Amino acid sequence: MKPPPSSSPSSSSSAALLRKGRLSPYIFTLLAFILFVTILYGEDFSCIFGSQFDTYRPYQSLSSSSIAKKKGEKLPFAVGEAAERDGCDLFSGRWVWDDDRPLYEESECPYIQPQLTCQEHGRPDTDYQHWRWQPHGCSLPSFNATLMMESLRDKRMMFVGDSLNRGQFVSMVCLVHKIIPDQAKSMITNGSLTVFRAKDYNATIEFYWAPFLLESNSDDAIVHRISDRLVRKGSIIKHGKHWKGVDIMVFNTYLWWMTGLKFKILQGRFEDEDKDIVEVPTEEAYRMAMKSMLRWVKRNMDLSKTRVFFTSMSPSHAKSVDWGGDAEGNCYNETSMIQDKNYWGSDSRKNVMSVIGEVFRKSKVPITFLNITQLSSYRKDAHTSIYKKQWSPLTPEQLANPRSYADCVHWCLPGLQDTWNELLFAKLFYP
C-alpha cells in the first residue's frame, strides 16, 4: 500500500536530519510521535519505515509457518493452534486411501448442481471419492460441521468468484447441511447471488458470481459464455457492494483470464459509445484484479472480526500429453491420479502464481492463501468428465467420441473440493 503522500516527504527529511546528527528536540518529539502513530497504525505507515514495524498481522500463507502473531493474539474464529504449526505446510503432502470417505454421499446432498453429480450421470467408478489429503509433517483436523455452524451463528460466509468457487461453496453446504433439519434450511438463487440459509443459526453460506471479481461482460450468472472477454478497470465496487457485512470471505479468480497471452481492459464504462480498450499482458490484467481485491478488503472488512481467504488456480486436465498420455487424450476415462510429485500441468500458469505471490507478499492485508493448485494437479481422476448434465443434446459425432465433450475443468462432488474446504476449515480454526 502506498503511504499517504503528505507524510512521506516529512519522514524522509527527518531521516536525512537524523543522518546528519542535527536532531533538535522538536524533531525528536515529532519522530517519537510518528513512531507512536506508526505502531498504532502499523499497516498504513509501515512502508514508510520499511518492514521493521510489521507488528500488524501480515497476510498468512505463502509458507504456512509464516503466520507471525503477537503473543496471546488470536485470529478471529481461531479455536486452537495447529499441533505442529512450525514447519508444517498443509499444502505439501500426499493422497492416502481412506475407507471412511467420502464425507457425505452424493445422493444425500440435494444442493449439488447437476453439472457435478457424476454418479447420477453414470460415472462407473467411485475411487475418486476415497482419497484423503495427508500433509507431510502433520494431520488435518477433522471437519466438524457443528463447530462450523456454531461459528457462523448470526454470521455470513460468502464465496465470490467463478464456477470453481461455486463448486467449493456447494461442497461446504454439503459438508454442513446434515446437522440442520429440513424445515430449517433453504437455498435460493437470485441473479448472481445464491444463499444457503440455516434459520436456527441465523447463518448464511453464500455464493456470488463474479468470475473476474471486477465488472466484466461475463457477469450474467446464466448467460456468460462470451469469448471476447472484457474487464473494466477499477470496477470492483460494482460487485463489491453486495459483499459488505460478510464475516468469512473466500475469493477465487483465474480460469476466465486464460484466453491467451493478452487481455482486454476497458478504461471507461461499458455504456460508452466509443469504448476505450487497452490490451495488456494477461498477468498484468490479473495483477490489477488482485490489487483491487486487496484494496476492497482493506476498505470494507474489519479484519479484527473477519477472515478472508483466496483459493489459488484450480488445475484442469485437458491434455494427456502433460502427464505422458496419448496425444488426443484428456481426463476422460482417467480413474487414477498422477504419481509424479513434481507434476505441474500446462494449464496452470506459473506466471500467474508468481503474480499472486508477489501481490500478497507486498500487501499487509491478512489474507489466508489456500494453495490448492499442486495437490489438485495430481487429481486427473477427479473431474466430472462426461458424467454431468449436458447444456445441449449431444450429437452422434460427440457420442462416438466421448473425450470430445469431457469436462476436465470442474470436479465431481463429493470429491476433491471437499479437501479444499478441509484446508479452509484447518486455516480458519487452527491458524
Ligand X SMILES: *[C@@H]1O[C@H](CO)[C@@H](O)[C@H](O)[C@H]1NC(C)=O
Asked if residue 310 lies in contact with residue 268, where contact means CB atoms within 8 angstroms, the answer is: no
Q: Considering beta carbons, is residue 43 or 381 the nearer one to ligand X?
A: 381
Select from 123, 155, 185, 380 the one that contacts ligand X (CB under 6 A): 155
Q: Which three three-digit cell numbers place residue 21?
A: 546528527
**Closest distance between ligand X and the C-beta of residue 365, in Å?**
15
Select from 51, 52, 183, 190 the one that contacts ligand X (CB under 6 A): 190
Distance CA 208, CA 238 (A): 12
Burial class (CB in 10 A: 0-12, 13-18, 19+), 384: buried
Q: Considering beta carbons, is residue 202 or 259 the nearer one to ligand X?
A: 202
Alpha carbon separation from 69 to 43, 73, 213, 218 (Å, rounded): 14, 6, 29, 40
- The string over 11-29, giving b where at least 16 C-beta atoms fall within 10 Å of a residue's C-beta and e elsewhere, is beebeebeeeeeeeeeeee
Residue whose entry in the numeric block shows the C-alpha cell 509464516: 66
Q: Quick check: 147 binds ligand X (CB under 6 A)?
A: yes
Window 339-398: residues binding ligand X (CB under 6 A): 353, 356-357, 371, 373-374
Q: Considering beta carbons, is residue 233 or 349 the nearer one to ligand X?
A: 349
Partners of 411 in beta bridges: 383
Select from 51, 52, 146, 392 the one that contacts ligand X (CB under 6 A): 146
Q: Quick check: 202 binds ligand X (CB under 6 A)?
A: yes
Select from 144, 300, 398, 404 the one that contacts ligand X (CB under 6 A): 144
Give the range of 8-16, 151-159, 272-280, 418-426 binding ligand X by CB under 6 A.
151-159
**Closest distance between ligand X and the C-beta of residue 321, in Å?**
16
Give the range of 66-74, 140-148, 165-173, 206-214 binding ligand X by CB under 6 A.
140-148
Give the range of 15-23, 139-147, 232-240, 270-278 binding ligand X by CB under 6 A.
139-147
Distance CA 155, CA 424 (A): 17
**Closest distance between ligand X and the C-beta of residue 11, in Å?**
31
Q: Quick check: 62 binds ligand X (CB under 6 A)?
A: yes
Q: Quick check: 139 binds ligand X (CB under 6 A)?
A: no
Instruction: Determine the Cα angle at 158 with ends 121 and 178, to 5°.
Output: 55
Of residues 105, 54, 29, the one with CA closest to residue 362: 54
Q: Considering beta carbons, is residue 70 or 400 the nearer one to ligand X?
A: 400
**Closest distance between ligand X and the C-beta of residue 77, in Å?**
12
Q: For the chain, give me the number of helices (H) and strands (E)?
A: 11, 14
Q: Considering beta carbons, is residue 165 or 374 the nearer one to ligand X?
A: 374
Q: Considering beta carbons, is residue 154 or 273 the nearer one to ligand X?
A: 154
Distance CA 71, CA 81 (A): 12
Q: Quick check: 239 binds ligand X (CB under 6 A)?
A: no
Window 71-110: residues binding ligand X (CB under 6 A): 91-92
Instruction: Determine the Cα angle at 235 with ends 237 and 299, to 5°.
Output: 45
Q: Quick one: how far is CA 231 from the chain centroid?
A: 19
Distance CA 121, CA 390 (A): 10
- Residues that contact ligand X, how many (by CB under 6 A): 20
Q: Considering beta carbons, is residue 15 or 83 the nearer one to ligand X?
A: 83
**Closest distance between ligand X and the C-beta of residue 311, in Å?**
11
> So which residues are the catalytic ones?
163, 407, 410
Alpha carbon separation from 127 to 130, 335, 416 (Å, rounded): 5, 7, 12
Distance CA 304, CA 299 (A): 13
List residues near ligand X by CB under 6 A: 62, 91-92, 144, 146-147, 150, 154-156, 190-191, 202, 333, 353, 356-357, 371, 373-374
